[in-house]
Amino acid sequence: MATRILAPPKKVILNNLRLLSRPLNSVPPTFVAAIPGQFAAFEPAPSAATTTKPSSLIDLTDPERLFSSVPTSKLIRSTANLHAVAMEPVVDLGIRVMQSKLIMDTGLVREAVLGVVRRTFYDHFCGGEDTVEAAATVRQLNEAGLRGMLDYAVEDAEDNSSCDRNLEAFLHTVESARTLPHGYVSFVVVKITAICPIHLLRRVSDLLRWQKKNPSFNLPWNRYSFPILSDLTPLYHTLEEPQPLTAEEEADLFLAHERLRTVGSKCEKYNIPLCIDAEYTAVQPAIDFFTYSAAMEHNRNEPIIYGTLQAYLKDAKERLLLKSEAARKMGILMGVKLVRGAYMASEAKLAHSLGHESPIHNSIQETHDCYNDCASFMLEKVAGRSGAVVLATHNVESGQLAVMKAKDMGISNGNQRLEFAQLYGMADSFSFGLKNEGFQVSKYMPFGPVDQVMPYLLRRAEENRGLLSASTLDRQLMRNELWRRFRAAVL
């Protein structure tokens, strides 16, 4: 039978959105038990008018302590790679070569290029070519006090046979995570775009959007009706009524659900959380549909399935609230990976081409505020034992605010339901700083054959290019530490 969660009245949403906007550095609230049929509410403690002083911040001033677990040879390689990607001409040339069809289609030249990429960018940003190499990298991370989020890098799937191949790879990844000591791998990552054909994700997203516009529109395959979209979610992708799914499409949808169920069950059996990445808004409603139907099945006792929320979206807070309320009513634990979001340019371009404003906050400050508010909300869920969060960010200020809030709320070090995460090869000083504060920290680690992770490498090259890029702090701290070690050895 259908499990239908009704959307709460608008006034209740607005009230709760105000509560969700309480800043990360505010005094911890007292948890007020939810009134049946209404949203769980958080009320400020009596002293809420005052703001707490930072009890402790992440110390990023002592490179010797930060990099104490990193061997000098690794530090030299990392510094060289980060300096190379900061040099605009090197990145321009690298990107042009990696994107050149002529070069990449010419056997020997291609092998030579891939060889260079493998020993430089690839080694820096990826965990290895297969599960054996990835497991070895996870062991190294663990020696440095960090954990690994295993992400087998795959392309979007076009048909069922590529989905089945990708499923095998994901299952193999879970098996490999199991062979490592418990806790070395914090999450296995799955992309729904790899286990459900991409055109079907678009179709399902269209149908969900159309149902949001016309609530009486019937979707027989949507048995769950978990709230996916909010009143702020843009619906401009779907301009006219979509055709219902054909029998073949419904069968494919069933197969995709079964694939996710197979990975989810394995993860639940081995108690290895599964994290589902977020993509662009054209397909995200379908991804959330998969995510929350899997959460309903696997998150009864422990948060096994984690969805991803992109705080750069204007509807992020409202959706978080709707979903957390639905999860509470269903008695399931909500797992959220919180990110800012990676498709800013393409989202804005699509919206403008359709004559609409961008779904992304108008200013970066609004994105920061939204991220911090959602983090605050989820930390309260962690403290109240009703949710779990991965704070996936390189933003030091967000990290500091979250650390303060977690400490103020008494979320103990080693709490399994709070994880910080940064990309492998990026923001290492920040990761070590968080670890030194006693928190669980993971590196999100893509692995797979070099040519398969090329699109990922191109994105990392873009992100780190320029002197003021995302890796500025790391470059500076690593250089200082190398210089200190050099002087200590020579003088």
Ligand X SMILES: Cc1cc2nc3c(=O)[nH]c(=O)nc-3n(C[C@H](O)[C@H](O)[C@H](O)COP(=O)(O)OP(=O)(O)OC[C@H]3O[C@@H](n4cnc5c(N)ncnc54)[C@H](O)[C@@H]3O)c2cc1C
- Contacts with ligand X by CB under 6 A lie at 277-278, 308, 310, 312, 339-344, 360-361, 363-364, 367, 392-395, 421-423, 444, 470
> 356 in helix, strand or coil?
coil
Q: Which phi and psi angles does 359 have, rounded to 5°?
A: -75, -5
User: Which residue, 317 or 329, is less far from ligand X as judged by CB?
Assistant: 317
**DSSP one-letter string for 20-47:** HTS-TTBPPPEEEPPPTTS--EEE--TT
For residues 292 and 224, is the Cβ–Cβ distance under 8 A?
A: yes
User: Which residue, 343 or 456, is less far from ligand X as judged by CB?
Assistant: 343
User: Which residue, 225 or 452, is less far from ligand X as judged by CB?
Assistant: 452
State the Cα–Cα distance between residues 286 and 281, nearest whole angstrom. 10
Least separation in angstroms between CB 389 and ligand X: 12
User: Which residue, 323 or 329, is less far from ligand X as judged by CB?
Assistant: 323
User: Which residue, 245 or 392, is less far from ligand X as judged by CB?
Assistant: 392
For residues 355 and 406, is the Cβ–Cβ distance under 8 A?
A: no
User: Which residue, 121 or 306, is less far from ligand X as judged by CB?
Assistant: 306
Least separation in angstroms between CB 34 and ligand X: 29
Radius of gyration of the CA atoms of the chain, in A: 23
Least separation in angstroms between CB 312 and ligand X: 4
State the Cα–Cα distance between residues 464 and 194, nearest whole angstrom. 27
Least separation in angstroms between CB 463 and ligand X: 7
State the Cα–Cα distance between residues 434 and 420, nearest whole angstrom. 8
Least separation in angstroms between CB 469 and ligand X: 9
State the Cα–Cα distance between residues 362 and 312, nearest whole angstrom. 9
Q: Which phi and psi angles does 271 have, rounded to 5°?
A: 55, 45
State the Cα–Cα distance between residues 285 and 307, nearest whole angstrom. 12
Least separation in angstroms between CB 48 and ligand X: 27
**DSSP one-letter string for 308-325:** EEETTBTTHHHHHHHHHH
- For 30-177, list the strands marked E by DSSP: 30-32, 41-43, 147-152
User: Which residue, 187 or 226, is less far from ligand X as judged by CB?
Assistant: 187
User: Which residue, 45 or 364, is less far from ligand X as judged by CB?
Assistant: 364
Least separation in angstroms between CB 401 and ligand X: 12
The DSSP letter of residue 215 is: T
Least separation in angstroms between CB 362 and ligand X: 6
State the Cα–Cα distance between residues 12 and 206, nearest whole angstrom. 28
First-to-final CA distance of the chain: 76
Least separation in angstroms between CB 323 and ligand X: 16
User: Which residue, 277 or 408, is less far from ligand X as judged by CB?
Assistant: 277
State the Cα–Cα distance between residues 312 and 334, nearest whole angstrom. 20
Least separation in angstroms between CB 365 and ligand X: 8
Least separation in angstroms between CB 42 and ligand X: 24
User: Which residue, 116 or 364, is less far from ligand X as judged by CB?
Assistant: 364
Q: Which residues contact 273 (CB under 8 A, 6 or more apart)?
A: 186, 187, 188, 267, 303, 304, 305, 306, 335
User: Which residue, 82 or 278, is less far from ligand X as judged by CB?
Assistant: 278
Q: Which residues contact 116 (CB under 8 A, 6 or more apart)?
A: none
- Provide the Cα torsion 141, 142, 147, 153; round to 10°: 40
